Amino acid sequence: MATVNEKQRTTGLKTSAFTKTVVRGKAAVRIMEKRKGERVFNGSDKIRNRMKSVRNIQKITKAMKMVAASKLRGVQTKTENSRGLWQPFVALLGDGFSVDVKKNVVITVSSDKGLCGGINSTSVKVSKALTRVYSGPEKETKYVVLGEKGKAQLVRDSKNRIELTISELQKNPLNYTQVAVLADDILKNVEFDALRIVFNKFHSVVSFPPTVSTILSPEIVEKESEAGGRLGDLDLYEIEGGETKSEVLQNLSEFQFSCVLFNAVLENGCSELGARMSAMDSSSKNAGEMLDRLTLTYNRTRQASITTELIEIISGASALEG
């Protein structure tokens, strides 16, 4: 007994230090067990959930960007090949942009699917501005909308001016025959003096300015060529084929319409894919930044909660020994 007491007296400090660590260790194990079994509510799991969803968004937008990039490669070659199509018409007839007519029909080319940046809004803005520019007494402007997104925006304030809407244009890969049938449809149903096609011309993946191509009806072409001006030399051209000049001019104008529309729809498709690429790219970049910020917050919260528990343990242990 005496030896044990002696031992206790001589090794007093050491024993109590040892006891402290033992007590601390036991308490820590208890806390660890508690954390494994029950949820310790400290807000870090909320952040963990947010991080998971943001990471998924980042993956999805990255995938969408890849898909748009691969589709763009295919459509871009087609578009560039079709660019020679409208040049002969412009070389012959000039650009009918400034020609003032009574009945204007604005054909807005837009996309069916969303998530493509601002291209549909710019097209619609330009179409509305064109309506204002060409407005005046005795003049009327009507719309023909290609694509769902343009329709959704124009229906809001110009519902009674929309003659025709066409959607699901890009469902199958575009070819000339399809567009020719479409052009035929539009020509049959719409009366016009001038057709203005508004679309986004594809310059590069980051640049797609809105462009307006004009097609004048054959009567206006005749009138303008008699009046002189840019179309004045049209009279100098001999007409071969067909019975009358007006018949040839009508065929010419319809052919011009289908060619220009083909090019316009292809260019707009390219621009849509390019815009979607850049929109998804910036979206995944933003998601990445958000993820970084959330990771920092998560680590901070986690470390804070560990520190709090350690403090609890230590203060509990030091309270035990008095």
Partner 1 sequence: MRATAADGARLRVTAGSRPASQAFSTEVTEAPAVDSSFLEAWKKAAPNIDPPKTPLAFMKPRPPTPSSIPSKLTLNFVLPYQSEISNKEVDMAIIPATTGQMGVLPGHVATIAELKPGVLSVHEGNEVTKYFVSSGFAFIHANSYADIVAVEAVSLDRIDPSLVQKGLADFTQKLNSAVTDLEKAEAQVGVEVHSALNAALTG
Q: Which residues bind partner 1 (CB under 8 A)?
A: 78, 81-92, 94-95, 97-98, 125-126, 128-130, 132-133, 135, 175-176, 180, 198, 201, 203-204, 206-207, 209-214, 230, 233, 236-242, 248, 251-252, 255, 259, 262
Judged by beta carbon, residue 16 or residue 204, the one nearer partner 1 is 204
Supply the minimum distance, in Å, between the C-beta of residue 287 and partner 1.
Answer: 24
Judged by beta carbon, residue 107 or residue 313, the one nearer partner 1 is 107
Judged by beta carbon, residue 21 or residue 121, the one nearer partner 1 is 121
What tokens were used for 269?
């498709």
Asked whether 211 and 205 are in contact (CB, 8 A), the reply is no
CA distance 44 to 309: 14
Judged by beta carbon, residue 47 or residue 90, the one nearer partner 1 is 90
Supply the minimum distance, in Å, between the C-beta of residue 296 and partner 1.
Answer: 32
Supply the minimum distance, in Å, between the C-beta of residue 196 and partner 1.
Answer: 9
CA distance 223 to 292: 66
Supply the minimum distance, in Å, between the C-beta of residue 219 and partner 1.
Answer: 17
CA distance 153 to 128: 11
Supply the minimum distance, in Å, between the C-beta of residue 267 and partner 1.
Answer: 10
Judged by beta carbon, residue 272 or residue 309, the one nearer partner 1 is 272
Supply the minimum distance, in Å, between the C-beta of residue 175 and partner 1.
Answer: 8
168 SS3 class: coil
Residue 196, Cβ density class (10 Å: 0-12 exposed, 13-18 middle, ≥19 buried): buried
Judged by beta carbon, residue 260 or residue 313, the one nearer partner 1 is 260
CA distance 262 to 258: 6
CA distance 287 to 291: 6
Judged by beta carbon, residue 126 or residue 154, the one nearer partner 1 is 126
Judged by beta carbon, residue 145 or residue 317, the one nearer partner 1 is 145
CA distance 119 to 109: 10
Supply the minimum distance, in Å, between the C-beta of residue 301 and partner 1.
Answer: 39
C-alpha to C-alpha distances, 131 to 32, 128, 161, 189, nearest whole angstrom? 72, 5, 11, 20
Supply the minimum distance, in Å, between the C-beta of residue 58 and partner 1.
Answer: 26
* 84: Cα within 13 Å, side-chain hemisphere: 3
CA distance 169 to 265: 9
Supply the minimum distance, in Å, between the C-beta of residue 125 and partner 1.
Answer: 6
Q: Of how many residues is the chain composed?
A: 322
Instruction: Give alpha helix (H) positions in 38-145.
Output: 44-82, 87-93, 119-133
- Listed residue (261, 229, 209) closest to 100, CA to CA: 229
Find the helix or strand (DSSP H, E) in which 105 lies: strand 103-109
Judged by beta carbon, residue 265 or residue 287, the one nearer partner 1 is 265
